[in-house]
Chain A
């Protein structure tokens, strides 16, 4: 990967009565990247790496980070519809052909819901440590029972990576952002927590080729959920990233960006 600085632009798009913040960079085939429940980083290397090959669109989820909270919103499926609305109106989708979806963790769940709504609309689908499906044996780690720091640390295989990215003792401003985002997560995914019991039944219709990626040491969403995604989807394969936890894009940014790029370009 080169070290050229990527220029990110941002725009605010009114969707369903709330201002949605969308960051954008790069040129080429369009990727919609949907991030984690903890919210986004300003300039993650993973996104820079993707922006060198694609046009990358990264919204802050409604009610998270810089996006306004839609008080009416009640489910992750609502978020998925908001993004369908965004894509339906965005010039990017009119001018550049079918979009590929990359969903990280919670964003993976949103992406999976979007794919069920429009089984042939997307070019490629990449789900990384995706929530959304109930594990049969283990549990999805419940942030309602974990402190802000403990929850995020749990998503790392290597704690020094957490220290490097957030600081060993993240500042209060970061915790406040995590709390705000956690509140929105509770508003839309409180019960059942972090899965939709009807999703596995609907994934069978998805015709989009899908890459399911899991960090070997994901302690937030168990690997068996990846296997269940694989079973439910007709056109999917699984890649496991060694030495990564739930936040694969933070621990192995180049490796994940490479996997996404190869899969999306069909190489």
Chain B
């Protein structure tokens, strides 16, 4: 198993009443409510949490980014990855990921990622995402070409990682006279690429066709099983067998010394969901052209309030469906066993705390996970044969059917 620590890096230190009055906390909610003093403190607390996560035995640190919203104050995952590349020693740096369509220069991203890979001595896992709907607006990027830009930027980055320059790129959305970044990744054939997602079937199919692991972001167990059904079907059509090494899952999971405290802190996952779904603006989060035409009816109805948000289940339902797991190490392990037995992922991210969980409780949670939960999960993983891409020496992709290794280890 590959066990990762994750936080959304919530910016809970803002006047909540202002957000409720405005009716949304994304995109147009004024950044005059951002407190840089609290921001400075929180960024440094999160860095300490990552350090502890490595110390207590996590295999990876999962990073992401979002824009113009307090639910996530990390605006550029490559910046935290750069810091962690130098300040950690062992953990994989799993970026889930860089929002490719937001980039006007994917070659620049390829360079940044190559630098992170070299500084970390080959610990980069480079995931790619489409970016949220409102992030297209925040970046001024055309939502109608989101998927085209995603696919073209990906192709350009992989080419710039694997094919010696200089070469010219004349694409539909990107044109580069000279592609010849001096920095190239340490890992060969190139760093592993994992693709996270939650809603779009197109992304699952795309990942499966590329033979990239897909990371399901906190979906309910039944929905997760449907994702793997589709992935495995496309894998079979593509000519390989799907299985645990292609399956990742991000689990909201808070542990504490007592059941009561864990449950109270786990309610803070609803803070984030209030931000993300409850207080997301339905028009900004689903700009025309961003979603596949097959969702058109659902999204126009959502945009005018005729349909509720599909992700808006309440706390008790999410506990029951195990989208949120909370308790002492002793009580969460059987629940996580159920998740592993039923959905068989080999990559498991722990989204451990959110909202107003105190710094002390967040650190306790990381320690308890590392000391008591992770060892049990490793045993279960062995018992169930859940070998991670690293353990299984899985190929990087269909195009590059070999495992990724640092160039000095290859030689």
A interface list, Cβ under 8 A from B: 144-149, 172, 175-176, 178-180, 182-187, 190-191
Q: Which residues of chain B have C-beta atoms less than 8 A from A183's C-beta?
A: 144, 288-289
B interface list, Cβ under 8 A from A: 28, 137, 140, 142-145, 282-284, 287-289, 296-297, 299-301, 303-304, 306
**Distance between Cα atoms of A183 and B288 in the complex (Å):** 5
Q: Which residues of chain B have C-beta atoms less than 8 A from A178's C-beta?
A: 300
- Asked if residues A172 and B306 are in contact (CB atoms below 8 Å), the reply is yes
Q: Which residues of chain A have C-beta atoms less than 8 A from B137's C-beta?
A: 144-145
Q: Which residues of chain B have C-beta atoms less than 8 A from A148's C-beta?
A: 300, 303-304
- Asked if residues A187 and B284 are in contact (CB atoms below 8 Å), the reply is no
**A-B pairs under 8 A by CB, number:** 54
Our pick among B142, B299, B306 for the contact of A179 (Cβ within 8 Å) is B299
Given A144-B137, A172-B306, A179-B296, are A186 and B288 also a contact pair (CB < 8 Å)? yes
Q: Which residues of chain B have C-beta atoms less than 8 A from A191's C-beta?
A: 140, 142
- Asked if residues B284 and A175 are in contact (CB atoms below 8 Å), the reply is no
**Distance between Cα atoms of A185 and B296 in the complex (Å):** 16
24 contacts between A and B (CB under 8 A): A145-B284, A147-B282, A147-B304, A148-B300, A148-B304, A149-B304, A172-B297, A172-B301, A175-B303, A176-B300, A178-B300, A179-B288, A179-B299, A180-B288, A185-B288, A186-B142, A186-B143, A186-B144, A186-B287, A186-B289, A187-B144, A187-B145, A190-B144, A191-B142
**Which applies to chain A's interface (DSSP): helix, strand, loop or mixed?**
helix
- Asked if residues A175 and B142 are in contact (CB atoms below 8 Å), the reply is no
User: In this complex, what residue of B is CB-closest to A170?
Assistant: B304
Q: Which residues of chain A have C-beta atoms less than 8 A from B284's C-beta?
A: 145
User: In this complex, what residue of B is CB-closest to A181?
Assistant: B288
The 4 A-B residue pairs whose C-beta atoms are closest, nearest first, are: A183-B289, A182-B288, A183-B288, A175-B300
User: In this complex, what residue of B is CB-closest to A190?
Assistant: B142
Shortest Cβ distance from B152 into chain A, in angstroms?
Answer: 14
- Asked if residues B301 and A175 are in contact (CB atoms below 8 Å), the reply is yes
- Asked if residues A180 and B296 are in contact (CB atoms below 8 Å), the reply is yes
Q: Which residues of chain B have C-beta atoms less than 8 A from A187's C-beta?
A: 142, 144-145, 289
**Distance between Cα atoms of A183 and B137 in the complex (Å):** 14
Shortest Cβ distance from A266 into chain B, in angstroms?
Answer: 41
User: In this complex, what residue of B is CB-closest to A180?
Assistant: B296
Q: Which residues of chain A have C-beta atoms less than 8 A from B288's C-beta?
A: 179-180, 182-183, 185-186
**Distance between Cα atoms of A178 and B306 in the complex (Å):** 16
- Asked if residues A175 and B144 are in contact (CB atoms below 8 Å), the reply is no
Shortest Cβ distance from A109 into chain B, in angstroms?
Answer: 18
Q: Which residues of chain A have C-beta atoms less than 8 A from B283's C-beta?
A: 145-147
- Asked if residues B303 and A147 are in contact (CB atoms below 8 Å), the reply is yes
- Asked if residues B300 and A179 are in contact (CB atoms below 8 Å), the reply is yes
Q: Which residues of chain A have C-beta atoms less than 8 A from B282's C-beta?
A: 147
Shortest Cβ distance from B151 into chain A, in angstroms?
Answer: 14
Q: Which residues of chain B have C-beta atoms less than 8 A from A182's C-beta?
A: 288-289
- Asked if residues B304 and A175 are in contact (CB atoms below 8 Å), the reply is yes
Q: Which residues of chain B have C-beta atoms less than 8 A from A172's C-beta?
A: 297, 300-301, 306
